[in-house]
Amino acid sequence: MLNDKAKQRPGSPAVTVIVPAYNTAGHIGMALGSVFAQSYTDFEVIVINDGSPDSKQMELAIAPYLPRIIYLKQQNRGPSAARNLGIQQARGEFLAFLDSDDVWLPRYLAEQLGFLHSNPELDMVYCDAAFEGDADNAGKTFMQLCPSTGPVTFESLLVLQSQPITSGTVVRRRKVTAAGLFDEEIRYSEDHDLWLRVVYAGGKIAYQRQVLLNRNVRPNSQGSAPASLLAGEVQSLRKLDRDLDLSPRTRALLAERLRKIQAALDLIEGKAFLLAGERDKAYEFLSRANAVASTAKLRAVLVTLRIAPRLTVLGARLWRRRQSQQ
């Protein structure tokens, strides 16, 4: 456990807190407030405005904190580029990432840094988070829905047995740099891509089950669209398959993971084509999804698409309308 009364030491801080911001003017004030309410104080804060359309409102929200933060602006280039800009300016030994709509509990940094100092062989730790803003998951935590089990390895990250939350991670800066930083070509699942490369480069990751932050789930947040997240993971895994020297076993696991993700993506796109009335494309994509993950409901939809396509489209639209009303 670190001393709660640790003071900002001369020279470099122990931790650099990196907060990328895009369209979160209504939330970033609370995020920064949670940082400056930390019991552990040996940190600097870098906020990166990623070409946000609400810049005026956001700058009003962060105005009370400007004397205590480093504020950077860039044209919109995505969360990877925003975080990389922060990393390049960072002075801390450790990096602590916080999305601008999430909130740390007051002992977040003390507990995370304490865990790392108690386990000096580690390069990164992540914790659990409580959900906010999501009625379906109210009262639940991230690890209840997405449990981490066993040691964190490349393979466990690959198959999602280990799932770090970006706002719940503290990692050695040199390990992120050695792994090549965030891939700026990837805008979704970019964090998962980086953690895989950190482990591949020899970084050691562990987790603790303490709930140390509140994770805000917003329908319009960059990380909320399932299709975008799946597409980002496909992009990442294809790149890693091409660029990394993986064992046959790991490459087989990666191929199987890719197959499942692509099927899930085909299912989402097939539903979208169905609702749009594009029956041939709907049948094509849903058939591909069914070939990998067949269900009775999906098979029934494919049958009705063949024998009564117009009725199937109408039924799908009525179902969607009822779901929206509920």
pLDDT at 7: 37
- Residue 180 sits in the same domain as residue 299: no
**With bands split at pLDDT 50, 70 and 90, how would you rate the model's confidence at 11?**
confident
Domain-located, residue 233: no
Q: Three-state SS for 229?
A: helix
**With bands split at pLDDT 50, 70 and 90, how would you rate the model's confidence at 143?**
very high
Number of H helices, E strands in the chain: 13, 8
CA atoms within 13 A on the CB side of 261: 23
What whole-number distance in Å separates Cα of residue 204 and Cα of residue 183?
20
- Residue 70 sits in the same domain as residue 219: yes
Against a cut of 0.85, is the pTM above it? yes
Domain-located, residue 293: yes
pLDDT at 219: 54
- Residue 19 sits in the same domain as residue 103: yes
**With bands split at pLDDT 50, 70 and 90, how would you rate the model's confidence at 135?**
low
Is residue 232 within 8 Å of 186, Cβ to Cβ? yes
Domain-located, residue 209: yes
Domain-located, residue 62: yes
- Looking at the structure of the chain, the number of domains it has is 2
pLDDT at 9: 41
Q: What is the DSSP letter of 11?
A: S
Does residue 180 have a pLDDT over 90? yes
Does residue 125 have a pLDDT over 70? yes
What are the Cα distances from residue 169, in Å, to 105, 111, 213? 14, 12, 11
**With bands split at pLDDT 50, 70 and 90, how would you rate the model's confidence at 144?**
very high
pLDDT at 31: 97
pLDDT at 6: 37
* Last residue in a domain, options 165, 191, 224: 224
Write the pLDDT tens digit of every residue in 99-117: 999 999 999 999 999 999 9
Domain-located, residue 280: yes
pLDDT at 101: 92
Task: Say what percent of the chain tops pLDDT 70.
Answer: 94
Does residue 151 have a pLDDT over 60? yes
Strand 94-97 versus strand 15-21 pairing type: parallel
Strand 103-104 versus strand 205-216 pairing type: antiparallel
**With bands split at pLDDT 50, 70 and 90, how would you rate the model's confidence at 224?**
low
**With bands split at pLDDT 50, 70 and 90, how would you rate the model's confidence at 85?**
very high
Does residue 4 have a pLDDT over 90? no
Domain-located, residue 145: yes
Q: For the chain, how long is the longest CA-to-CA vector? A: 75
Does residue 311 have a pLDDT over 70? yes
Taken in order 185, 189, 193, 198, the sign of the CA dihedral is positive
What whole-number distance in Å separates Cα of residue 30 and Cα of residue 315?
44
What residues make up the domain containing 202? Answer: 15-224
What whole-number distance in Å separates Cα of residue 31 and Cα of residue 85?
19
pLDDT at 5: 36
